[in-house]
Chain A
């Protein structure tokens, strides 16, 4: 848009809008910096016990050390790998099961109570069983991650599949569409917003599965660092791991949001 056909008032409005956005961003950064500074100062003057809380500069030093010797990259890499595999598998399998349930009304009704029970069950309770059955390596952790996200995926996608206006399906049927065409032309595209919402939830859930799995059995990964740090009372290590975990999961979430904006222009 060129500036010469914008009225003075509109320009002022845009300027004010921009200023407001900047203020919000600056405030967000300020809160982070002030929090970290307060933490540092409080630890320095012994207002808090830095043995229990650690403090930012110590965490930073540890971060540099772990980055330099390559440990950090290794542990992060293991966890990210497990999360992405668990996330993709959980989502894809969940969608396939949801399609199956949509296809067969009979099985949807038969399996409904089982899904309700599985959905309300805290999936992390299954983690020990899964790890015993599948094995105490990557595979056990990945299956744990899958178990956390798959049921929610099935429920969300199935609800979206059946929430469609029946006339839209009838419209396709008047054109003589097969059931597979109904699925492809209307059910799946209609459910893209639900899919995007599910993906965002699943990123977080997959991390829950991976961290719990790593707590239980692993020899590597961010979950392992947290448990190890807790056992040897190295709160620096625990804090650093939690920070890194939150940054990586936020990046993944943002990635999906970008994907959504890029490919889904038709809904607001």
Chain B
């Protein structure tokens, strides 16, 4: 059915954390693929191991069982193919916005006139030109998250891992930024994995949604999202108005099976 190339292949992945108080099985026997240009959402009850999954794919921690292939290569340690966005922007307070954006290139030793020009151009595109010499504390939450996105995109990763990237923002900014970033990801044809606890956000941004169970997390269901947007143009905020939206929301809500005890 899908002829696009596999960017990510997750195979029989399992992870057990060890602590003195005992061992915790975080995730168990996870299998899925992510295709090129796709945004895949991962939702699950809080504390179910969503972030663990992302960290393993990013190569920050190694799994107890199974393996992850990114672009057909086994993930052993972090690589520049992967861009990671955290819950908070983690801009460095002591660097200007431009210097923050250049951080990844600096680590790779690739800062030169050309790359600075690219950075300035991207800042320009995303409305941060006037702030390139400002320090992060002088920017609003939404602007900071945009700067963090540029910092991630400028190293040209072909897979983006988004770990609840909007959860630190207030509701209005969150809607605006998720819309903006969703469109950027689609325009640049980026492949992305989006971990979130916000069902609506997952539906509005994703092509497919993976639903995880409580710990130890296994895949409960994978839902393909097909929304009919007005005018036929996709956009995260527009897609919230699609007639199917409510249907997906209810389906995922039921599958998550969340009980407040």
Q: Which residues of A contact B104 (CB under 8 A)?
A: 175
- Could you say which of A170, A186, A265 contacts B135, with CB atoms under 8 Å apart? A265
Contact pattern, B 77-92, Cβ under 8 Å of A = 1, otherwise 0: 1111011101110101
* B221 located at the interface, meaning its Cβ lies under 8 Å from any Cβ of chain A in the complex: no
Whole-angstrom distance between the Cβ of B134 and the nearest chain A Cβ: 10
Given contacts A175-B103, A181-B107, contact A189 B88 (CB under 8 A): no
Decide if B137 is an interface residue (CB 8 Å cutoff): yes
What chain B residues lie within 8 Å of A185 (beta carbons)? 92, 103, 106-107
B4 within 8 A of A: no
Q: Give CA–CA (A170, B88) in the complex, Å.
A: 12
> B113 at the A/B interface (Cβ < 8 Å)?
no
Contact yes or no, B80 A176, CB < 8 A: yes
Q: Taking the nearest CB of chain B, how far is it from the CB of A171, in angstroms? A: 5
**Inter-chain contact B94/A174, CB cutoff 8 Å:** no
The interface residues of chain B lying within 8 Å CB-to-CB of A172 are 103, 107
Q: Is B210 interfacial (CB-CB < 8 Å)?
A: no
A78 close to chain B: CB less than 8 A: no
Task: Please tell me if the beta carbons of A174 and B93 are within 8 angstroms of each other in the complex.
Answer: no
Residue among B83, B87, B95 making CB contact with A174, cutoff 8 Å: B83
- CB contacts (< 8 Å) of A173 on chain B: these are 60, 78
**A192 interfacial contact with B, CB 8 Å:** yes
Q: Within 8 Å of chain A (Cβ to Cβ): is B254?
A: no
Say yes or no: B90 contacts A189, CB within 8 Å. no
Whether a CB of chain B sits under 8 angstroms from the CB of A133 is: no
Q: Is A114 positioned at the interface, with any CB of B under 8 Å from its CB?
A: no
**Residue among A165, A175, A189 with most chain B CB within 10 A:** A175
Q: Does A47 contact B (CB under 8 A)?
A: no
Bound CA–CA A167/B85 (angstroms)? 10
- Secondary structure type dominating chain B contacts: loop
Q: Which of A175, A181, A189 contacts B92 (CB 8 A)?
A: A189
Q: Are A167 and B88 in contact (CB under 8 A)?
A: yes
* Complex partner residue of A192 from B55, B83, B94, CB under 8 angstroms: B94
- Residues of A within 8 Å of B87, CB to CB, are 167
Pair A189/B78 contact, Cβ less than 8 Å: no
Residue of A nearest to B148 (CB): A171
Q: 1/0 contact trace for B182-202 toward A, CB 8 Å?
A: 000000000000000000000
CB atoms of A168 and B60 under 8 A apart: no
Knowing A176-B78, A181-B107 touch, does A168 contact B90 (C-beta < 8 A)? yes
Interface check A266, CB cutoff 8 A: yes
- Decide: B135 and A171 in contact? CB cutoff 8 A: no
* Chain A residues whose CB sits within 8 angstroms of the CB of B103 once the complex forms: 172, 175, 185
Interface assignment of B259: CB less than 8 Å from any CB of chain A: no
A190 smallest CB distance to B (angstroms) = 7
Q: Are A266 and B94 in contact (CB under 8 A)?
A: yes
Q: Which residues of B contact A268 (CB under 8 A)?
A: 137
A176 to B90, Cβ gap below 8 A? no
**Residue ID in chain A nearest B163 by CB atoms:** A167
Q: Hey, which chain B residues are within 8 Å of A266, CB to CB? A: 93-95, 135, 137
Task: Give chain B interface residues in 105-138, CB to chain A under 8 Å.
Answer: 106-108, 135, 137
Q: Can you report 8 residue pairs joining A to B where beta carbons are below 8 Å apart?
A: A171-B86, A171-B90, A173-B60, A174-B60, A176-B80, A186-B92, A190-B94, A264-B94
Interface residues of B (CB under 8 A from A): 55, 58, 60, 77-80, 82-84, 86-88, 90, 92-95, 103-104, 106-108, 135, 137, 155
Inter-chain pairs besides A170-B60, A266-B135, 10 sampled, C-beta below 8 Å: A167-B86, A167-B87, A175-B103, A175-B104, A176-B79, A185-B106, A185-B107, A189-B95, A266-B93, A268-B137
A contact set with B: CB distance below 8 Å = 165, 167-168, 170-177, 181, 185-186, 189-190, 192, 264-268
